[in-house]
Chains A and B, each alone.
Chain A
Amino acid sequence: MKRFKYVELMIVSLLFIGCHVQNSENKSKRITQRNINPIDGSNIEGHYQAKFITLNPQINGTIPGSANFYRKNNQLFAYVRLFGGGVNAWHIQNVYTGARCPNSADDINGDGYIDFEEAEKVLGQIIIPLDGNIESQNLGRKRFPYGDLSGNYTYERVTSFSKFLKDLNQNDDNLEDNIVKISTDKGFDFKNLTVLIQGIEKDKELPETIATKTPFERNESLPITCGVFKKIDHLPGEEYDEDNIPGPFEDDLSETNFYHQLKH
């Protein structure tokens, strides 16, 4: 594992104000204010959500869902909901340091698919594996969820926030892998981190042009959804309004109804 590089850390920890960010390349040019996060994680409170954007929709169609972190006091809850992925497929899911999801412009070999190699160039390095144990980058042992008979799954893990942060601040004892730690003096935020979900059914055929990364098979590593974490500051939905009923409406009362009215 490598130390979180300075530039990457800046992307994670800087607050962007007054501009719409298109991608990470021009992001640094749009910085108007810096916000260095406190090292004790006190900036993290409430709900952070990454709504899924479907990647490679030609495989599974649209895949709704989201990845969520929710902090309350010292409890940290991780929650992933995915609908309509691969039936019984193994879904690798990791949070990355990159601040945007890959799109068709990142399909470098032009084969119509965004493979893991292409996605990784955009996503950067793994900072939180959403596996068997979110308290630690290593203890979860890549126990990732499987889709059910409908291709759905929910993933939920709870841990102590302080233990989670302590693990992220530890020394990086593996500089060879793609998992990084954060500097102990730089703080941390979920905002603008990115989550990637991978994996389709084993028996789905894929073109040879799709690259993967050892030890994963192409079907295990193919990206299927991605999302960028944002802080949730309002809940969905609208207040019920009895004067605002959605249509369509019947133009005329049905004969059946008139019939019954007459029978009355």
Chain B
Amino acid sequence: MKTLEGSMISFGLLLAFLSFSSHAFKEVVSGIHEIDYGLERNDDDLILLENGHVIKIHRSKRHQFSALLREKSNEAFYRFKINDNRFVIDLTKEKRIKKDNKSTESITAFEYTPTTVSSISLAKRYHSEARYNPKESQCFNRAMIWSYEWWKDHELKSNKIFIFFTRNYIRKFNFEWWFHVAPYVHVLKDGKIVERVMDIKYTNNPLPIPSWTNIFMKNNAKCPVITKYSDYADYPFEGFCYIQRTHMFTYQPSDLQMYEAWGYTKSNFNFDEIKNAYKEAFDEEI
């Protein structure tokens, strides 16, 4: 049986997105999820980072960085210096820190029953009381803290919804993420249960899922619902987007991959992830 050793690498602390507003560049520290070299001769390289962002290497600079990137051993984090157009102007390699897994993954049967919020007005209240920090932060860290605090304060068992953007879409609209995640809840409305996304950063109210995806889809594409991560990952060049539902303990796409591969799923909040999320998204140490 596969052990979890090596399967859970904590990204949180090292995924800091460091902004230097006094310069026309930023530094991004992250592992590399994938590199897309494009299908057309004039395509720039897309680097899909583990933190969900997409940065670019101009085709004229490809050779300058290719040796470092070819080695993409995944044992390294990279420190990228990027300009305003998200093109890499410099990069260095850093040692990746591997942490022991302390979470509560479960391979036993785990049935998760989300809370049904009794009304839209109550959902709006939860939405309005969630903390907001205008700083640039990672969506998965914000989603984790909102979910955690609703659970802690109201015993609310929420869900999460991932939206995955295909390389096709990223290239077509020069889009800057390959995934985004937000909590959503079941809400009772007119005697029926509906789904409402609670993305505090981008919405003023709980939104139906299609309205939420439209915020990010510049072509108003409808995002098909998938139930396996591989349904997104194995179709990078076609379609525009996919959405996948999961429970509130899921942190990053790697959790979805582990569930698909081995049936591992988190059955509780992982303290290290909560701690990292507070620090990265809300500058709080717990």
Contacts and interface: CB of A to CB of B under 8 A. Distances in A.
A66 B243 contact: no
Nearest to A68: B234
Interface stretch (A77-85, A105-113, A114-122, A169-177): A77-85
Interface residues of B, number: 66
B9 A246 contact: no
Interface residues of A, number: 52
B230 A264 contact: no
Given A65-B230, A77-B237, A149 B6 contact: yes
B225 A239 contact: yes
Given A47-B237, A153-B74, A249-B116, A75 B40 contact: yes
Judged by DSSP, the binding face of B is: loop
Interface string B19-53: 00000000000000011111111000000000000
B226 interface: yes
A235 B169 CA distance: 15
Interface string B172-189: 000000000000001010
B155 A66 contact: no
A131 to B, nearest CB: 13
Contacts of A146: 73
Interface in B108-152: 111-119, 121-122, 125
A245 B116 CA distance: 13
A258 B243 contact: no
Contact of B75 (A84, A148, A156, A248): A148
Interface string A32-69: 00000000000000010101000000001111111010
Nearest to B258: A84
Given A260-B118, A261-B122, 15 more contacts: A47-B238, A70-B237, A81-B230, A149-B74, A150-B9, A158-B37, A232-B238, A235-B239, A237-B226, A240-B210, A245-B186, A249-B113, A249-B186, A256-B154, A257-B154
